[in-house]
Structure 1
Amino acid sequence: MINRTLKQIHEMVGGLNVIAEWESVQVAGVSIDSRKVEQNNLFVPLLGEQVDGHKYVEKAIQQGAAASLWQQNVPNPPKDIPLIIVKDTEVALQELARAYRGQLNVKVIGVTGSNGKTTTKDMTASLLATTYKVHKTSGNFNNHLGLPLTILSMPKDTEVAILEMGMSSRGEIEFLSKLARPDIAIITNIGESHLLDLGSREEIARAKLEIIEGLADGGTFIYYGDEPLLSEQIQNRDKDLHIQSFGRSRENDLYVTSIEQRNDSTAYMTAGVLVGSYEIPVLGNHNVMNALAAMLAAKELKVDPEKIQEGLASVRLTNMRMEMVEGAKGEKVINDAYNASPTSMKAAIELIEGLSGFERKILVLGDMLELGLQEQDFHLKIGQHISKDEIDEVFTYGPLAEHIARGARETFEENRVFSFQDKQQLIQELKRHTQANDLILVKASRGMRLEEVVQALQK
């Protein structure tokens, strides 16, 4: 983590006050939450819509913070404690991260995309950790606050940092990319997430391609080459980039030639710039695409092919992403409740349909959010896509997911499709239907909190 004197911090954030009395105070790490302050942290109080962090500055100091920032337009700064006055505390946090990143001898990999950002980040970290000292985004700390905090928590001897970059509107990825200044940038894919804000997949592609803005000339850009929206737009770039693509098509630099779905892993073969047989301890054809992106990044940083194999074998994904757990009755539950879009929902369903060796297969699907004007149609088409020959029962939760149920009922018998607006009622009914050796997929957008269904099945 960042470890600097208060004088150095003052210079890095452009402090406005005189701190002669406190210049030698040593700061270690940064916190924006007074409840999570650690010894010698710099506390950064933020002005939020609901809470003003400046109210907790003195509490943060009492809990061990070495110093705090203070926004210039907030009245009554406390006396006799180490404070740095800044014009804007949020901007100061970002500028501190920008300066710290510039002081480190570190290779940075930026990862964005509609789906698979976190999985690709985890896979890339696993591959590179076989050879380098790696630091990566924790959880989903991928926005204008999370990314600076991730940079500032980076140990000084970090050799490679893998930074996830999320967005909801245009300009956000450009901002994050220019802050992180990646040496390698990855776009996993273009899906339907953020249609509500951006209006079209073309606009989503343009927003994701903003990650190039922070790349220096000669930087490496890795992208999903089977997506025409990316392939077409990258041709109009202004920068001189080293471009690498991945996908299923033979036109890509790295492509998959076969995939074998196993009950607890996925095996695949590749051709192109990396030729071989690989296996990842996670489920889903879509995760093979994420693995290809990670493999290209590892190759770019000269990780040995044997180490790539080793890193893939030890991949561990962030919770609630195709996470296999066991229920109280011995049923197998795939917890994919962190997020959902039509693309990822379809991929997860196809995965379940392709698995064998289970007594029955059950889908528990919730609302996919932020899909804009076509949201009902997207849900209906998911229901129509489900194979009645491969899936035994479908449970849905939420007003939009009711359209999934409606689509499924076009081919399923009525007594195999259940739709709920009450989560506890869904759980009670689901428990009556499950038994040992059933396979259950639980998937929805994060706001639906369907991990509660997974937790209930484990009791």
Structure 2
Amino acid sequence: MKPLSVKNLAKITAGNLVQGAEEVLIQHGAYRLKQVKKPNTALFTSKRIVNWKSLEPLSPLVLVTDRAYRPHEMPKHVILLQVANAEEAYWKFVHFYRNQFHIPIVAITGTSGKTTTKEMIKHILTADRQVAATTLSSNSRTASLQYLLDIDDDTEAAVFETAVGSPGDVTNAGKYFKPTIGIITNIGAHHLNYCKTLEGYIQAKAEMLNIIHPTGTLIINAEDLNTKKIDLATFRGRVLKVGKHESCDFRASHIHYEQKGMKFILQHGRKSYDIFVPGFGEHQVYNALAAIAAVYEIGVSIPVAAKRLQTFPQLKKQLQLFEGIHHSMLLDDTWSITTTSLEAALHVLNALGDGKKKIAIIGTITDLGSWGYIIHEQAGECIQRIGVDVLITIGEHARIMADHAVKLGFSAPVYTFKNSTLVYPLLQKIVDANTIILIKGDMYSKQVSKLAAELKLKPIPPAE
């Protein structure tokens, strides 16, 4: 955080310094007591603090509040700034802090690919810039303030995920970050427990259009069906489309699998560029297109971006390739699961498993609320359409996928389990060196994660 004096904070918030020294520098911010971890923190709250003793090691603490404290209640080590409304004071502070910096800020939302695209952008930019960014996929709304305060005078660019757990989340993130570039990677069906309907979820993602600076840029996947449903008529900035269609501003063609990644030709303007991106699947090409489009807007040339992208480190548990039991191949994709990412993973399984026995182990899709049955049926349709040689599901809801796939005509062997206990013994019997296994779930499924760990022997090294 760029330090700010108590005196200046009082001016920004129209606050009255009741107790403490105005020259003390604020170096951290918080709006919940549990977020106060270090001295010199400004805490914005209307809640009454009772246990002052626990805060002594964190002094000086600057308390910005609209709650009235009696003189004897307030310890001497606390700096008290009285304001008319603590929430309004907080947002005045946030807006002031963000407006100090005139740098490119990228915000990314989407059902799948957010973290990968963000990490690609970060990887490309950090070669010659100071970059603030979301830590992996830690993108909850409670983290937004800390990510904003990571920006200081040395920061030259920033890239943040703006996830959707419920309507308003992207709008809320926009109040902090005020992005100059926005990316919607794709829109599947997720978090329907709060968004209620697919249309509601699409609109929650479409909030991205309202948070980008009026002269900013929106980058979208031109081929994503649900993204096409967003009305772009009110967007005042520039729209860049990525995809395979001739109308795309950043177009991929001649896509094919290579050792440890994907190779394709990028066409932009009248020029063509050979691109290699680590990580398997056509979806990885779309992630790369969005990342290249974003850094190009920031000022990185396509040849430079392409060279830096070649060294992008693949993210753990995202279609990571290992040697598995009995010298099989294992694709660990246990970071998250949606119907969108499941379809992408099955395509990778089939591409890498050409000529091999292909086994898919799939766990439950979460955060669906009353839509759970329907979405799991859609996953079953996806499995039936793309196909595997053996299907194994783990979990009661995951069984819906298997049952629906069979109902639609899926004729390969199917095994459904409540938990993972019996899966490993089954695999010991049916796996050999000519087998490739996809294990697909999310980080919150201990059953699936444990099984993935048991199946891994060692990473498969890149070809020389």
Cα distance in 2 for residues equivalent to 1:55 and 1:358? 67
* Partner SS, residue 360 of structure 2: strand
Unmatched tracts of structure 2, length 5 or more: 458-464
29-38 or 292-301, which moves further after superposition?
29-38
Q: Deviations over 1:51-95 (max 9, x none)?
A: x99567643542x56425465459786512224456777776655
* Deviation at residue 109 of structure 1 after TM alignment: 1.0
Cα distance in 2 for residues equivalent to 1:132 and 1:157? 9
**Structure 1 pair 369–232 and aligned structure 2 pair: CA distance change class (3 A):** closer
Cα distance in 2 for residues equivalent to 1:321 and 1:412? 26
The corresponding residue for 1:3 is 3
Q: Does 1:222 pair with 2:216?
A: no
Cα distance in 1 for residues equivalent to 2:289 and 2:67? 49
Cα distance in 2 for residues equivalent to 1:374 and 1:57? 46
**Structure 1 pair 389–126 and aligned structure 2 pair: CA distance change class (3 A):** closer
**Structure 1 pair 266–78 and aligned structure 2 pair: CA distance change class (3 A):** farther
* Partner SS, residue 110 of structure 1: strand
22-31 or 364-373, which moves further after superposition?
22-31
Unmatched tracts of structure 1, length 5 or more: none
70-79 or 130-139, which moves further after superposition?
70-79
Bigger CA radius of gyration: 2
* Partner SS, residue 138 of structure 1: coil
**Structure 1 pair 395–233 and aligned structure 2 pair: CA distance change class (3 A):** closer
* Partner SS, residue 202 of structure 1: helix
**Structure 1 pair 308–357 and aligned structure 2 pair: CA distance change class (3 A):** same
Contact 1:27 1:42 (C-alpha < 8 Å) held by counterparts: yes
* Partner SS, residue 145 of structure 1: helix
Which of 446, 451, 454 in structure 2 is aligned with 1:453?
Answer: 451
* Deviation at residue 200 of structure 1 after TM alignment: 3.9
- Whichever residue aligns with residue 132 of structure 2, its letter is H
CA RMSD of aligned residues (A): 3.5
Cα distance in 2 for residues equivalent to 1:121 and 1:54? 38
Cα distance in 2 for residues equivalent to 1:276 and 1:402? 45
Q: Does 1:120 pair with 2:104?
A: no
**Structure 1 pair 58–42 and aligned structure 2 pair: CA distance change class (3 A):** farther
The corresponding residue for 1:252 is 248
* Deviation at residue 381 of structure 1 after TM alignment: 3.7
314-323 or 37-46, which moves further after superposition?
37-46
* TM-score, with structure 1 as normaliser: 0.84
* Deviation at residue 101 of structure 1 after TM alignment: 1.6
Q: Does 1:346 pair with 2:340?
A: no
The corresponding residue for 2:139 is 142
Q: Deviations over 1:393-433 (max 9, x none)?
A: 3221222101122234455667x322222244445655665
**Structure 1 pair 437–24 and aligned structure 2 pair: CA distance change class (3 A):** farther
Q: Does 1:302 pair with 2:299?
A: yes
* TM-score, with structure 2 as normaliser: 0.83
* Partner SS, residue 378 of structure 1: helix
The corresponding residue for 2:27 is 28
**Structure 1 pair 32–438 and aligned structure 2 pair: CA distance change class (3 A):** farther
- Whichever residue aligns with residue 243 of structure 1, its letter is V
Q: Does 1:211 pair with 2:205?
A: no
* Partner SS, residue 386 of structure 1: helix
Cα distance in 2 for residues equivalent to 1:87 and 1:392? 66
Q: Does 1:100 pair with 2:59?
A: no
The corresponding residue for 1:356 is 353
Q: How does 1:179-218 map to 2 (within 5 A)?
A: 179-218=176-215
**Structure 1 pair 424–60 and aligned structure 2 pair: CA distance change class (3 A):** farther
* Deviation at residue 110 of structure 1 after TM alignment: 1.2
* Partner SS, residue 456 of structure 1: helix
* Deviation at residue 128 of structure 1 after TM alignment: 2.2
How many residues are matched?
Answer: 451
